[in-house]
Amino acid sequence: MNKIVIVDYGLGNIKSIKHKLEKYNYAVSLSNKANEIESARLLILPGVGNFKVGMANIQNLDLIKCLNSAVLKKKKPIIGICLGMQLMTSFSEEGDCSGLNWINAKTKKFFFKDSKFKIPNVGWRTNELLKPNDYFNQIPKDKYFYFTHSYYVDCKEKEDIIAQSYYGHKFTSVFQKDNIFGVQFHPEKSHLNGFRLLLNFIEKNL
């Protein structure tokens, strides 16, 4: 069976994703072991919480070398979800902390003068697709996805931006660079459309 590894670095709703994928008979494991991560066919980097804590956990588990090998050298397909997407950037204002630096982007804190925009951004938002993307097949353009975040990704390379969302201003909600795919929303919490995107990613890469 095809092997999917959800990187377990101590933050994220990882069991929920695992259980949903197992209902589709996918072989899924949770792991923080280098050999299992590097031998996976496909990787999921989830995450809910603090950027600095997430990077510290990854470093303390000695995962940076194996993740770089799997993603940058072996070109394993990987999807980053919420904090997982942000960890792929070069730097975050949350703790003034360096990230994995896989994408030319920074993670910035929302700041609004208009009091109607509360932080965090929690709720259902649409994505504006800027270019066609196979992972959004069978998903209507006007459908909503579930977001919950206080920081957003500022992507520096236009060609990497797949979709934008709006909360006080536009921000990158989806990016892709080669085998690296990131979404700010939670597909596992976004009902049928979110899970369709996750299945599209898996089906096209296994």
Could you say which of 82, 94, 149, 155 is catalytic?
82
Of the candidates 69, 10, 12, which has an alpha carbon nearest to the alpha carbon of residue 36?
69
> What ranges make up the beta strands (E) of the chain?
3-7, 27-31, 42-45, 78-81, 91-92, 97-98, 105-109, 121-126, 128-129, 144-149, 151-155, 161-166, 170-177, 180-183
Could you say which of 94, 149, 155, 188 is catalytic?
188
First to last CA, the chain: 10
Give the pLDDT score at 172: 98
In the annotation, is 186 catalytic?
Answer: yes
User: Strand, coil or helix: what is 23?
Assistant: coil
For the stretch 85-134, pLDDT in tens is: 999 999 999 999 999 999 999 999 999 988 899 999 999 999 999 999 99
In the annotation, is 66 catalytic?
Answer: no
For the stretch 3-59, pLDDT in tens is: 999 999 999 778 889 998 998 899 999 999 999 999 999 999 998 999 999 999 999
CA distance 177 to 71: 11
In the annotation, is 82 catalytic?
Answer: yes
Each domain of the chain, given as residue ranges in start order, spans 3-205
Helix count (H) and strand count (E) of the chain?
6, 14
CATH topology classification for 3-205: Rossmann fold (3.40.50)
CA distance 21 to 43: 13
The residue written with tokens 């700010």 in the block is 184
Could you say which of 38, 94, 155, 186 is catalytic?
186
For the stretch 70-79, pLDDT in tens is: 999 999 999 9
